[in-house]
Amino acid sequence: MSTRAKVLVLCVLLWSQPGWAFDWCGTFFIYPGHVQSNFMIVNGSLRGFGLFVPVGLQDGAPLILDFHGFGSNHSVEAQNSCWKNVAKREGALVVYPQGKSLVPAWSSGDYCCPGGNAGDIKFSRMLVSCLGKALPRALGVNVDSDQVYAVGLSNGGAMAGRLACEDSDVFSGVAVTSQSFPFRTVEQCRRVDTDGIAKPAVPVIEARGTMDVIVPYIYSWGWSLPAKESLERWRRAMDCRDQPVFEDICDRPGSGPGCVYGQTWCQSYYQCANNSVVSQCTLIDGHLVYNNDHDYSPCDDAWFEFQRYHLVKP
């Protein structure tokens, strides 16, 4: 039996013992240039994730956690999202966490979706912490703790939004794709601690499709907010004080030469707390805006804002 098979058998045996509520960083199999499945234990439960390490990774690498949508999985997210392309170009790591339960989901706030796991936040933080320890041993490369980002589609986008609100001491920016602000009240985001200090504001880039029937743009089925209300809550949560700036999406850094002016737009607040930014980009498209007809990459656009509003955490 191979070493990897033995590790997997051990993981299954440990997973079957619900009384053993402990944490373990687990496996970090690395196959540069490819997405490799790995496992860890969080609160005594086995959790899976895909890990993409680009060829020739350099020290001080950024880290991106890319969360899949409701009912999907980390393999589908790795295939369909545009974050792997960003990672190849920018020399970043991408982790594709896997949701638990029969229908994979994330515990992502008040709106979306049923079936998330109470340990999802801890799972996310452990991924960052464990990679920070494993990567120097495996490759002699360190993760830049000031460039750790959470991104995702739909339910995964809501999960990224929750991390922006509750864990901005770890995550320096988020990209919320085809979802909205995750909580019923603004006060639930960046709560003040016992010392009277709020979590730091971070860049939030939201991308929405006007023809999205799953997460509608101008109304709600109950598991999201309309786009206008979502943007307003993000503005208030990140303490933006300026007037909104309207831009054609073709003037954004995520657009390509095939972009056509006058069809899509972004609305942004550039004077938010902690030198942050809140942007919402609107596409004439459906739910899967990663692959749209406007020659626009939500990933490239978010990455540019992450770098332009680069935060250094205390």
Question: Which strands make up the sheet holding 173-177, listed edge to edge?
Answer: 35-42, 45-52, 93-97, 61-67, 143-153, 173-177, 204-209, 276-283, 265-272, 245-248
Q: What is the pLDDT of residues 242-281, one digit of tens each?
A: 999 999 999 999 999 999 999 999 999 999 999 999 999 9
Asked whether residue 255 is domain-assigned, the answer is yes
Kindly indicate the confidence band of residue 6, based on its pLDDT and cuts at 50, 70 and 90.
very low
pLDDT of residue 301: 97
pLDDT at 292 over 50: yes
pLDDT of residue 194: 74
Of the candidates 281, 209, 211, the one whose C-alpha atom is nearest the C-alpha of residue 245 is 281
Return the CATH number at 122: 3.40.50.1820
DSSP string, 178-240: S----SSSGGGSS-B-TTS-BPPP--EEEEEETT-SSS-SSS-SSSS--HHHHHHHHHHHTT-
Residue 23 belongs to some domain of the structure: no
Q: Which residues contact 182 (CB under 8 A, 6 or more apart)?
A: 108, 109, 110, 111, 112, 158, 159, 161, 162, 165, 189
- Round the average pLDDT of the chain to a whole number and report it: 92
Domain assignment of residue 86, yes or no: yes
Q: Which position has the token pair 């912490």?
A: 129
- Residue 18 covered by a domain: no
pLDDT tens readout for residues 76-117? 999 999 999 999 999 999 999 999 988 999 999 999 998 899
| For range 182-201, the mean pLDDT | 90
* Per-residue confidence (pLDDT) for residue 198, from 0 to 100: 85
Q: Is residue 4 part of a domain?
A: no
Residue 205 included in any domain: yes
Residue 20 lies in a domain: no
> How many domains would you assign to the chain?
1
> Which pLDDT score, from 0 to 100, does residue 165 have?
97
Q: For residue 197, what pLDDT is reported? A: 84
Q: What domain range includes position 54? A: 31-190+198-308
Of 146, 39, 167, 43, give the one whose Cα is nearest residue 96. Answer: 39
Q: Is it the case that residue 11 has pLDDT exceeding 80?
A: no
Specify the pLDDT at position 65: 98
The verdict on residue 63 lying in a domain is yes
| pLDDT band at 192; cut points 50, 70, 90 | confident
Q: Of the candidates 214, 207, 235, 217, which has an alpha carbon nearest to the alpha carbon of residue 292?
A: 207
